[in-house]
Amino acid sequence: MTTISGRTAFVTGAGSGLGLAIARSLAGRGANVMLADIDADRLKAAKDELLHIHDGIASLHCDVSDPEQVDAAAGATVERFGAAHIVVNNAGVAIGGAPGQIDLADWRWLIGINLMGVVHGVQSFLPILRRQGTGGHIVNTASIAGHIAMPGLAPYNASKYAVVGYSETLQRELAPEGIGVSVLCPGWVRTDIHNTGAKRPSLDSATETLDDMLATTPDGIPEVIANGIDPALVGDLTAEGIESGRFYLFTHPSMKPMTELRAAAIAEDYAACSADPRFRDA
């Protein structure tokens, strides 16, 4: 997609953080934007702000873990703006915990948002992009945690690795149709992602409290997030990635050596596999 101006974008998790920053950058480039979020107050504030940038702004409540709500959001976007060209599947949450001790309900909640929310966005909007026949672009928000497994964040890591793999598949499958795909993999950004676990299902039970949840947050995470980069930088990077057709969108060159360590470990075991006569001709 060579230009964003005049196009229509749908952005989830748009009430704050990365979603709002991305929506702000798209609106600033002349896109109509449908803001979607589960938090009504943040959604209203985001809409009020962006209307000062561009008059083509609308909003709706949407729980991305519910495919019917995402379907309805897709229909509402087309009804409001006449089309949809850019889909930003950004909504996400994070929880931490020790292996084998994370409530399964919390696992399902996180996967329902971080992974299935992305899947639902693609399922609902891809038929629209295809029907329009004018191409389009899908952005899926993963994380550097989709390339580096950080201790203490197993559910988050698992969901983000899945989003990266899903996005890599989509890119290969949709390129012949003229539909671009980007996977956003930021490092530390100043958002409240580390506080989203306050809504995890287990906190509704008598066995876990908010203090328990905060105690499972890996040491130092709140501090590094507080000192992270400005979300506005990631918003601009995302808009530029859409216009240039970039696939991977990274934010922290300092994290590249950690991804190289993973690649080196894979190469080392492939060397061992190649040296094993049982597999040499496989």
Closest CA to 8 of 20, 92, 23, 69: 23
- In sequence order, the 6+-apart residues with CB closer than 8 A to the CB of 185 are 142, 143, 144, 146, 147, 164, 248, 249, 250, 251
Q: Is residue 156 among the annotated active site residues?
A: yes
What does the DSSP assignment read for 196-230? Answer: GGGG-GGGGSTT--HHHHHHTSPTTHHHHHHTSB-
CA–CA separation, 150 vs 148, rounded Å?
Answer: 6
Tell me whether residue 147 is exposed, middle or buried, using C-beta atoms within 10 angstroms of its C-beta: 0 to 12, 13 to 18, 19 or more.
Answer: buried
DSSP structural state of residue 84: -
Of the candidates 30, 6, 7, 23, which has an alpha carbon nearest to the alpha carbon of residue 180? 7
Residue 83, number of CB atoms within 10 A of its CB: 16
Which ranges of 54-115 does DSSP label H, i.e. alpha helix? 67-81, 104-114
Contacting residues for 87 by C-beta, under 8 A, at least 6 apart: 9, 10, 121, 122, 125, 129, 136, 137, 138, 139
Give me the active site residues, please: 156
